[in-house]
């Protein structure tokens, strides 16, 4: 083989190999798809303690087997003539935790002033969606909350 032809091939192989390596490196660096989160029922309170009229903030903890950590979370349990619901405290704008303002009867987000009604509907602010409702289950006098872990 001629010297020039050999060099041309060598340079070509070098850049091909580098290209393949870069592809493998990129695939390696791309984060693994996290497994689908499983819904889990977490005990919240006894049925007798459910608020008939008003909002109660309840703190609960869930254990994630995948990451081996216990996370402490909170949820708003809202009682009204329409029934009892559980509202996620996460503002649908950028994910801050909203506070319940008992005087105004509104949920107010401290970050950008998003306001929600007692049942989580939008009053005003930058949020695109109402507060998320979480499933509540009553079983033998105990109230369970469905959360995805």
Partner 1 sequence: MGRMLAWLDERFHVIKPHRRFLQRRIPDGLNYAYCFGGLAFTFFLVLAGTGLLLSIYYIPSEKEAYRSIVMINETVLFGWLIRSLHKWAASFFIVSIILHTIRVFATRSYRPPRELNWMVGSLTFLVAMASAFTGYLLPWDQRAYWATEVGTAMIQTIPFAGDALMLAVRGSNEVSGATLIRFYSIHVLFLPLCMGLLLWMHFHMIKRQGIAKRL
Check if the beta carbon of residue 115 is closer than 8 Å to that of residue 107: yes
CB atoms within 10 A of CB 116: 24
Is 138 an interacting residue with respect to partner 1 (CB under 8 A)? no
Q: Select the span of 27-35, 39-47, 48-56, 69-77 touching partner 1 (CB under 8 A).
A: 27-35
CB atoms within 10 A of CB 58: 16
CB atoms within 10 A of CB 71: 12
Q: Which is nearer to partner 1, 5 or 102 (CB)?
A: 5
Q: Return the residue of 11, 17, 94, 132 that touches partner 1, per CB under 8 A.
A: 11
Q: Return the residue of 1, 2, 5, 32 that touches partner 1, per CB under 8 A.
A: 32
Q: Of the candidates 138, 133, 146, 134, which has an alpha carbon nearest to the alpha carbon of residue 47? A: 138
Q: Return the residue of 1, 5, 30, 128 that touches partner 1, per CB under 8 A.
A: 30
User: Which H helix or E strand runs over 60?
Assistant: strand 54-64
Is 28 an interacting residue with respect to partner 1 (CB under 8 A)? yes
CB of 5 to partner 1, least distance (A): 14
Q: Which is nearer to partner 1, 6 or 43 (CB)?
A: 6
Tokens 């009867």 locate to 105
Q: Which is nearer to partner 1, 1 or 69 (CB)?
A: 69
Is 21 an interacting residue with respect to partner 1 (CB under 8 A)? yes
Tokens 């998320």 locate to 132
Check if the beta carbon of residue 127 is closer than 8 Å to that of residue 138: no
Q: Which residues bind partner 1 (CB under 8 A)?
A: 11, 21, 24-25, 27-30, 32
């Amino acid at each position: 083989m001629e010297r020039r032809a050999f060099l041309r091939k060598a340079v070509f192989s070098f850049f091909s190999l580098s290209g393949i390596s870069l592809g493998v490196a990129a695939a390696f660096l791309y984060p693994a798809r996290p497994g689908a989160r499983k819904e889990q029922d977490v005990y919240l309170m006894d049925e007798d303690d459910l608020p008939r009229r008003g909002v109660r903030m309840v703190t609960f903890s869930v254990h994630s087997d995948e990451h081996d950590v216990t996370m402490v979370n909170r949820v708003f349990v809202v009682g009204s003539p329409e029934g009892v619901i559980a509202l996620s405290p996460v503002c649908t704008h950028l994910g801050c935790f909203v506070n319940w303002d008992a005087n105004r009867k509104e949920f107010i987000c401290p970050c950008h002033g998003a306001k929600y009604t007692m049942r989580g509907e939008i009053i005003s602010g930058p949020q695109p969606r109402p507060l998320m409702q979480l499933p509540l289950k009553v079983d033998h006098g105990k109230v369970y909350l469905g959360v995805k872990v």
